[in-house]
């Protein structure tokens, strides 16, 4: 049995089958198919191959592919081959006497001389970044720091590469420059010039990236300030495993009469060793003709080399002590080696017309502050090392809310999501700063607000600061800043540099582990680096399957955090939920599925019949 010369009627029948197969909730798709059928029916002509349907208004690639599948099934049923494009063109030519399609002419021209020459493919152009562009600066910054086996963080690359770039490497939110030259990192990664590894993220040069960076450096006659020293360090590194960590043989740094004072009996506590060695820490520079480095365990995150500013001596450098504990690298910052300052999220503004209100207000009070996009919280306090410039996140974080914003966050479940992430930060002092402005509209949310404030204070054990307006907020934050500065005057800091974190839970776990080991007195405090905080604590970063399932469930109106957790305990993943609904015999069973499971659950975990039906409608 052969196909008819015109398949138009078959295509119309198949479109009607698609329309009949749609459900009641697929109205938009039904309208699309009906429009395609009407236009096809009103168009004269011969339609053989499904591609012929593309000239009909309302028929696109999706419908064409469905018709192609229908045609293949039909041809298989009657025992014939589906028409090919060439056959379709020849039939059309024979019937109408028209010229052959361009596709047929091309195929015949290649077959006429007996050759099967393929069209010449244009060779992909090699990526070379423009001079003084973002990609150019990133490559040179990585080359200067010898980021081959040990990578640099984003902030280190921005700091070291800015001198090679004519535009700002970092975004400037104050001038509405939302993207800096750093965005060129995507092109470098896609062209295999830079590799991204670890968590927090670090960037290293590939062999191709190293060759290109050297070519750019040579072409523009660039000489790095510390090129001679860097070359010597590179030669020494080639003699050992690049993944090994180095520690100093302290005995080579002191006269013979002082060596005996450095011999100490080891104790089980690394805290005691670290504290005892504060006054005898090594200078982290290589003396001439002296080999003081010995191989240690696995590598530590790369610390970029920064020249000492004027007036800095070796005694200043001695304030950084580098160690490893249970596979995690850390630094000990002495109490007079860092300064305390707050970082304000750039989205925290008084009004659209006064976006830098808080920064300017703090400056008027003689208080240093910085503005960046924060992964968590609205204001955090950091310690910045006076020599290296590294920053670490201290144990204080503030979430600023106006009353109307707090009410909105309760409605859309942001309140619970923020609360969970704040708890994972590991900060001891978490503050909710509530601005009770006169113009705040809470829209009948009074009772919900009272409950939330009670939960913040009593159940979650967060602290609360209540202010009347933005000016009052500045005064309260300034007072808090003075307390924090006073608190850290007599404390040293242990700054963690973990190599790989798999989740936000790991972030808190490793911090708690260090606190148990080192914070045995009030003279030491453990904290993560600012880069690690930014990389790990983002809203959408490093979520587990459990967290993703709960978050998806909370998008359904009426599903609170407690209800989502209860559902997730029964159905661990979204796949379990979908399979459960798939196994339901009818719609009624699907609508009552969760009601039967959690209809008698206590308190806020209870699922009503109406909510169960709404969830079923979402997943079926």
In this prediction, residue 392 carries a pLDDT of 95
Instruction: Report if residue 119 sits inside a domain.
Output: no
Instruction: Give the mean model confidence (pLDDT) for residues 122-131.
Output: 85
Total count of domains within the chain: 4
In this prediction, residue 412 carries a pLDDT of 66
Instruction: Report if residue 379 sits inside a domain.
Output: yes
Is 297 strand, coil or helix?
strand
- On the question of pLDDT at 136 being above 90, the answer is yes
**352 and 481 share one domain:** yes
**549 and 529 share one domain:** no
**352 and 407 share one domain:** yes
- On the question of pLDDT at 265 being above 80, the answer is no
More confident residue, 310 or 405: 405
Q: How far apart are the first and last CA of the chain?
A: 41
- On the question of pLDDT at 95 being above 90, the answer is no
Sequence-distant (6+) residues with CB within 8 A of 550 are 561, 564, 565, 568
- Scan for tokens 């395609």, then name that residue: 36
> What percentage of the chain carries pLDDT values higher than 70?
74
**374 and 471 share one domain:** yes
Contact predicate 532/496, CB 8 Å: yes
Rounded Cα gap, residues 24 and 36, in angstroms: 19
Rounded Cα gap, residues 33 and 11, in angstroms: 12
Name the CA radius of gyration of the chain, rounded. 33
Rounded Cα gap, residues 533 and 524, in angstroms: 20
Instruction: Report if residue 74 sits inside a domain.
Output: yes
Total residues found in the chain within this entry: 620
Is 405 known to be catalytic? yes
Lowest mean pLDDT among 104-113, 446-455, 490-499: 104-113
Q: Which one, of 345, 403, 342, 414, lies nearest residue 376 by Cα?
A: 345
- Catalytic residue, candidates 93, 226, 404, 405: 405
- On the question of pLDDT at 32 being above 70, the answer is yes
- On the question of pLDDT at 562 being above 50, the answer is yes
Rounded Cα gap, residues 131 and 166, in angstroms: 9
424 — phi, psi (to 5°)?
A: -75, -15
Instruction: Give the mean model confidence (pLDDT) for residues 18-41.
Output: 84
**157 and 78 share one domain:** no
- On the question of pLDDT at 52 being above 80, the answer is yes
User: Any idea what the CATH number is for the domain that residue 193 is in?
Assistant: 1.10.10.10
Q: How confident is the model at residue 85 (pLDDT cuts 50, 70, 90)?
A: low
- On the question of pLDDT at 289 being above 70, the answer is no
Domain residue limits at 180: 127-240
Lowest mean pLDDT among 18-27, 94-103, 106-115, 319-328: 94-103
Q: What are the angstrom distances between the C-alpha of 573 and each of 288, 337, 545, 576, 577?
A: 60, 48, 7, 5, 7
**363 and 385 share one domain:** yes
**423 and 364 share one domain:** yes
What tens digit of pLDDT does each residue of 158-199 get?
A: 988 999 999 888 876 655 566 789 999 999 999 999 998 877
**177 and 213 share one domain:** yes
Q: How confident is the model at residue 315 (pLDDT cuts 50, 70, 90)?
A: very low
Instruction: Give the mean model confidence (pLDDT) for residues 307-318.
Output: 42
> What percentage of the chain carries pLDDT values higher than 90?
29
**387 and 413 share one domain:** yes
- On the question of pLDDT at 366 being above 70, the answer is yes
For residue 22, count other CB atoms closer than 10 A to its CB.
14
For residue 419, count other CB atoms closer than 10 A to its CB.
21
Q: Which one, of 536, 540, 547, lies nearest residue 199 by Cα?
A: 536
User: Any idea what the CATH number is for the domain that residue 448 is in?
Assistant: 3.40.50.10130
Instruction: Report if residue 303 sits inside a domain.
Output: no
- On the question of pLDDT at 213 being above 90, the answer is yes
Edge-to-edge order in the sheet of strand 492-497: 320-325, 328-333, 492-497, 524-528
**61 and 170 share one domain:** no
- Among residues 197, 217, 240, the one where a domain terminates is 240
Instruction: Report if residue 332 sits inside a domain.
Output: no
What tens digit of pLDDT does each residue of 415-428 get?
A: 777 888 888 898 99
Contact predicate 436/467, CB 8 Å: yes
Sequence-distant (6+) residues with CB within 8 A of 59 are 36, 39, 40, 53
Is 223 strand, coil or helix?
coil
Q: Which one, of 472, 527, 480, lies nearest residue 369 by Cα?
A: 480
In this prediction, residue 102 carries a pLDDT of 44
Instruction: Report if residue 266 sits inside a domain.
Output: no
Rounded Cα gap, residues 10 and 14, in angstroms: 6
For residue 517, count other CB atoms closer than 10 A to its CB.
15
Q: Give pTM, 2 decimals.
A: 0.51
User: Any idea what the CATH number is for the domain that residue 58 is in?
Assistant: 1.10.150.110
Contact predicate 206/193, CB 8 Å: yes
* Structural tokens at position 439: 């113009």
**103 and 235 share one domain:** no
Rounded Cα gap, residues 129 and 159, in angstroms: 19
**385 and 342 share one domain:** yes
What tens digit of pLDDT does each residue of 530-546 get?
A: 989 988 887 655 567 88
In this prediction, residue 193 carries a pLDDT of 92
In this prediction, residue 395 carries a pLDDT of 93
- On the question of pLDDT at 235 being above 80, the answer is no
Rounded Cα gap, residues 80 and 74, in angstroms: 9
């Amino acid at each position: 049995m052969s196909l008819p010369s015109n398949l138009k009627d078959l295509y119309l029948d198949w479109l009607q089958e698609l329309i009949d197969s749609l459900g009641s909730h697929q109205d938009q798709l039904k309208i699309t198919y009906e429009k395609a059928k009407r236009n096809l029916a009103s168009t004269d002509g011969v339609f053989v191959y499904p591609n012929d349907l593309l000239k009909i208004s309302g028929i696109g690639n999706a419908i064409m592919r469905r018709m192609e599948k229908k045609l293949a099934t039909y041809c298989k049923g009657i025992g014939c081959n589906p028409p090919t494009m060439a056959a379709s063109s020849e039939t059309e030519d024979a019937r109408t006497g028209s010229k052959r399609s361009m596709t047929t002419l091309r195929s015949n021209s290649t077959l006429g001389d007996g050759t099967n020459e393929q069209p010449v493919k244009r060779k992909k152009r090699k990526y070379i970044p423009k001079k003084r562009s973002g990609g150019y600066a990133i490559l040179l910054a990585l080359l200067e720091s010898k980021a081959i086996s040990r990578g640099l963080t984003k902030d280190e690359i921005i700091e070291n590469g800015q001198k090679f770039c004519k535009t700002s490497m970092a975004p400037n939110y104050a001038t509405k420059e939302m993207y800096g030259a750093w965005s060129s990192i995507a092109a470098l990664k896609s062209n295999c010039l830079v590799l991204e590894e670890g968590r927090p993220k670090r960037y290293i040069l590939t062999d191709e990236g190293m060759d290109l960076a050297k070519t750019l450096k040579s072409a523009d006659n660039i000489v790095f300030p510390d090129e001679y020293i860097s070359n010597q360090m590179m030669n020494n590194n080639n003699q050992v495993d690049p993944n090994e960590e180095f520690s100093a043989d302290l005995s080579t740094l002191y006269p013979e009469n002082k060596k005996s004072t450095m011999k100490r009996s080891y104790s089980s506590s690394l805290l005691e060793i670290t504290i005892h060695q504060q006054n005898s820490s090594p200078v982290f520079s290589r003396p001439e003709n002296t080999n003081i480095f010995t191989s240690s365990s696995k590598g530590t995150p790369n610390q970029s080399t920064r020249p000492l500013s004027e007036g800095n001596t070796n005694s200043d450098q001695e304030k950084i002590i580098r160690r490893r504990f249970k596979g995690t690298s850390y630094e000990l910052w002495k109490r007079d080696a860092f300064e305390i300052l707050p970082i304000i999220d750039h989205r925290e503004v008084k009004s659209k017309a006064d976006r830098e209100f808080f920064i300017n207000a703090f400056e008027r009070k003689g208080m240093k502050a910085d503005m960046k996009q924060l992964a968590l919280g609205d204001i955090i306090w950091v310690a910045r090392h006076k020599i290296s410039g590294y920053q670490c996140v201290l144990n204080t974080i503030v979430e600023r809310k106006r009353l109307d914003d707090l009410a909105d966050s309760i409605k859309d479940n942001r309140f619970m999501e923020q609360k969970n992430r704040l708890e994972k930060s590991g900060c001891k002092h978490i503050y909710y700063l509530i601005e009770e402005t006169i113009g705040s509209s809470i829209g009948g949310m009074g009772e919900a607000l009272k409950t939330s404030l009670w939960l913040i204070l009593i159940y979650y054990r967060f602290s609360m600061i209540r202010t009347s307006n933005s000016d009052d907020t500045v005064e309260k934050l300034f007072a808090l800043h003075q307390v924090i500065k006073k608190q850290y005057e007599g404390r040293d800091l242990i700054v963690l540099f973990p190599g790989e974190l798999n989740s936000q839970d790991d972030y808190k776990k490793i911090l708690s582990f260090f606190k148990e080991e080192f914070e045995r007195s009030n003279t030491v405090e453990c904290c993560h680096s600012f880069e690690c905080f930014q990389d790990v604590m983002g809203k959408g970063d490093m979520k587990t399957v459990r967290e993703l399932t709960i978050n998806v469930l909370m998008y359904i109106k009426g599903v609170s955090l407690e209800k989502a957790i209860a559902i997730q305990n029964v159905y661990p993943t979204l796949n379990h939920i979908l399979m459960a609904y798939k196994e339901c015999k009818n719609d009624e069973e699907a609508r009552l599925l969760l009601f039967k499971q959690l209809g008698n659950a206590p308190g806020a975990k209870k699922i009503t019949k109406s909510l169960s039906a709404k969830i079923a409608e979402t997943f079926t």
